[in-house]
Amino acid sequence: MSDKIFRSGFVSIVGRPNVGKSTLLNRILGEKLMITSDKPQTTRNQIKGIHNVPGGQIVFLDTPGIHRAKTRLNKFMVEEALSSVQGVDLILFLVDGAFDPEKEAGMIKEVLSGVEAPVILVLNKIDLIPKGDLLGRMAAYGETYPFKEIIPVSAASGDGVEQLVQLVHGLLPEGPCYFPDDILTDVPERFIVAEIIREKIFRLTRDEVPYSTAVVVDSFKERETGVVAIQATINVERDSQKGIIIGRKGDMLKKIGSQARQEIERLLDTKVFLELFVRVSGEWSDNSRMLKEFGYDS
């Protein structure tokens, strides 16, 4: 009888920047929905990823990394992450397997203080843990908080991910199918397009430039030919950053646009005409009006 129970619920994925939250969710979904890079603080918004399993539906919440916030943008990101641990059915707390458990203890206790939902500690990047150290690290983390389970995985290779999904499904309550079973997320295509463009900036530029950019899709139209015409603006904070984004003779902007267009075409399964503009928008990351305009508003 219990096998016929349909289990569903909301599962928040939280942790420090660059521990692999988005990579893990992409691996679970089997699609690249969340943007990733080797730079921390790539994810800025809380994004739902919907995963259907036999007898259930898991709605994952990908969240920004928890870090010390200075600008209004950083504070928004941290608020997005911390708010996600309230009102969910389960929490996956992701840590980098190479990190020292003792140094993570304070942050874990602070973030999970007052949390009512059960918490699974996900020890990611197990390929970076020296042989023989895994069980010791799991035991050390077990002393920091009463986790429901501690699961070692490699989001990059997929090791342990299916076991994690099975565990998550088994811990969810009986519930409805919250979303149609043919969608992966509830965010609009325009949002994903802007994120793809921003990811290419993260991957192709350096220093502070990726952190000082915000992408806004100004126009998204399907022509009679089936081609989707997209116009988007890359907002930066200084003229020097605009110069870097554009590059010599426009080379960098062309590279960003070309790589983004190819990925957007795979997403939309159609030809795309992508036109990018670059605009200096002052210190937008610390301006409440512009943050709201760019989609960073709690």
176 is in an annotated binding site: no
235 is in an annotated binding site: no
21 is in an annotated binding site: yes
52 is in an annotated binding site: no
257 is in an annotated binding site: no
Token reading at 130: 């020296």
22 is in an annotated binding site: yes
126 is in an annotated binding site: yes
261 is in an annotated binding site: no
130 is in an annotated binding site: no
136 is in an annotated binding site: no
287 is in an annotated binding site: no
DSSP annotation string for the chain: -GGG--EEEEEEEEESTTSSHHHHHHHHHTS--S---SSSS---S-EEEEEEETTEEEEEEE-PPP----SHHHHHHHHHHHHTTSS-SEEEEEEETTS-HHHHHHHHHHHTTT--S-EEEEEE-GGGSPTT-HHHHHHHHHTTS--SEEEE--TTT-TTHHHHHHHHHHHSPB----S-TT-S-SS-HHHHHHHHHHHHHHHH--TTTGGG-EEEEEEEEE-TTSPEEEEEEEEESSHHHHHHHH-GGGHHHHHHHHHHHHHHHHHHTS-EEEEEEEEE-SSGGG-HHHHHHTT---
16 is in an annotated binding site: yes
64 is in an annotated binding site: yes
63 is in an annotated binding site: yes
127 is in an annotated binding site: yes
C-alpha–C-alpha distance, residues 32 and 18, integer Å: 16
142 is in an annotated binding site: no
74 is in an annotated binding site: no
Give the residue ranges of the annotated binding site.
15-22, 62-66, 124-127
Give the residue ranges of the annotated binding site for GTP.
15-22, 62-66, 124-127
